[in-house]
Amino acid sequence: MFWTEESIAFLRDAAAMNRYYETIAERIAPQLPENAHICDAGCGIGELSLALKPYCRHVTAVDADELAIKTLKAHLIEGVTARCGDMETLAPEKPYDAMVFCLFGRTEDALRIAKKQCRGRIFLVKGDYSHHCFSAEQVSLGEYTAGSTEAVLHEKGIPYTVERFAAEFGQPFRSLEAAEHFFALYNRSRSETLSKDEIKARLTAGPSAEFPYYLPHKKALCLFTIETAAISKEEAV
């Protein structure tokens, strides 16, 4: 994902209004080792990194997008480090105790990186749905789904546990025009767009005068837990 000032503003508004990232962190927390140094791989603007910090000693948040990391650095808390660069090359001095890959690209890439950089558990958070949520027509998510991850792990014979849950991550809007900008920004349809009436039909009353409109969105998620030791050395090549 390429971050823009507009997409960052939308996400920060949604994160401030919902406990989406806190819910994910709460699911991961019981499985973290004590006093852990963890990596939030592909952290974006770091909302999950910040939510994870109460449950570990240190979080290293890594993303290749300069604007995303700049945004995170403006809101850092003690015990969270932000690094900008390619996950493949930004290896830690000592292996991480755990790694989190939340909606992070291909499962194979996450396995390869984790095998090189982590000595403990890895957590893959994947969407448990098959199509893009904000497009005017059905647009497949292809290999970036929980189902695809399960297929990859089965094929490779990698044992795992999986927990399915849902977390509200609706989007508040300051105006109808803002809602239109949101759908234009996130529409993945090549030819179709949503009309103003179609957009308005998806909205509910917002929570405040500042945000009079709200787009409900309960995301179905899967949390995969894998022991790095169960990943073969061949996966690191």
Please answer whether residues 25 and 52 qualify as being in contact, where contact means their C-beta atoms are separated by less than 8 angstroms.
Answer: yes
In a domain, 186, yes or no: no
In a domain, 49, yes or no: yes
In a domain, 48, yes or no: yes
In a domain, 165, yes or no: yes
Q: How far is CA 60 from CA 86, 95, 211, 225, in A?
A: 13, 12, 33, 19
Residue 134 has pLDDT above 70, yes or no: no
What pLDDT, on the 0 to 100 scale, is given for residue 194?
A: 79
Query: How many domains are there within the chain?
Result: 1
Give the range of the structural domain holding residue 22, as residue numbers without chain letter: 5-171+217-230
What pLDDT, on the 0 to 100 scale, is given for residue 40?
A: 98
In a domain, 131, yes or no: yes
Digit-coded pLDDT (tens) for 28-63: 999 999 999 999 999 999 999 999 999 999 999 999
* Residue range 148-163: mean pLDDT, rounded: 95
In a domain, 88, yes or no: yes
In a domain, 199, yes or no: no
| CATH code, domain carrying 37 | 3.40.50.150
**Amino acid (1-letter code) at residue 47:** E
Digit-coded pLDDT (tens) for 6-36: 999 999 999 999 999 999 999 999 999 999 9
pTM comes to 0.93
What pLDDT, on the 0 to 100 scale, is given for residue 38?
A: 98
In a domain, 180, yes or no: no
